[in-house]
Amino acid sequence: MINVVKYKDLGGADHGWLKAKHHFSFASYYNPKRMGFGSIRVINDDIIKAKKGFDPHQHNDMEIITYVRSGAITHTDNQGNKGRTVAGDIQVMSAGTGVIHSEYNLEDQETNIYQIWIIPNKTSVKPRWEAKEFPKDPVKNNLNLLISGFGKNYKDGTLGIYQDAYISGGKINKGTEVNYNIKHQVYLLCSYGKILINDKILEKGDAAEISNIKEFKIKANDNSEVLVIDAPK
């Protein structure tokens, strides 16, 4: 089953310095029918103004993933971690027993990110943060695997999280088709462009909930970018 979630139907808020769209209930947006998708609890589509950002705040027992779509985000935390993640790259933070962090757009232009929260399968871990650069060239046959879960299914070269989840992504040139084999169930994000998921059309900002099938095909009708979150129910 493929259920398309249109960008215009997302919840959201405009804080001036931050324009946020919420795929699931978050902060002041509450929809009892949109409380998550399996172990995925939060997906926020955030546009952050230049020289603005999230002041220090605390998290516990959550896997927090930030995929930068444009611009860059700078992270600092009370564990001594600091780093700048640019468009096409990704950072992860295991909040575990508790971490205080900030996220700022220190650039001269807006930054657009997806922030994703996944419920961990292991709690009270030591907090950790990590970022990684990934290939920026358009993909041809398969998406780039960006994240995999710690344990027997962890894939070398990826960022790890405490959940048996996989996050893949990449740019797809117009006319290119990419196949994806599902491990659990998928929440797919169209970062930009226009794509076909089997026979369903997604445009910039749209998403698709994909369940009860084993595979699907992505066809790019325009130059596009996608993020595929494959996580347990």
- List, as one string, the DSSP characters of the chain: -EEEE-GGGSEEEE-SSEEEEESS-BTTB--TT-S-BTTEEEEEEEEE-TTEEEEEEEE-S-EEEEEEEESEEEEEETTS-EEEEETT-EEEEE-TT-EEEEEEE-SSS-EEEEEEEE--SS-SPPPEEEEE----SPBSSSPEEEEEESSTT--TTSEEESSS-EEEEEEE-TT-EEEEE-SSEEEEEEEESEEEETTEEEETT-EEEE-S-SEEEEEESSSEEEEEEEE--
pLDDT score at 35: 97
What is the set of domains in the chain, with CATH numbers?
Answer: 2-231 (2.60.120.10)
Beta strand 159-161 with 144-149 is parallel
Whether pTM > 0.85 for this model: the answer is yes
Q: pLDDT means per 10 residues in the chain (233 residues)?
A: 97 96 96 97 98 98 98 98 96 98 98 98 97 93 96 94 97 97 98 96 98 97 98 96
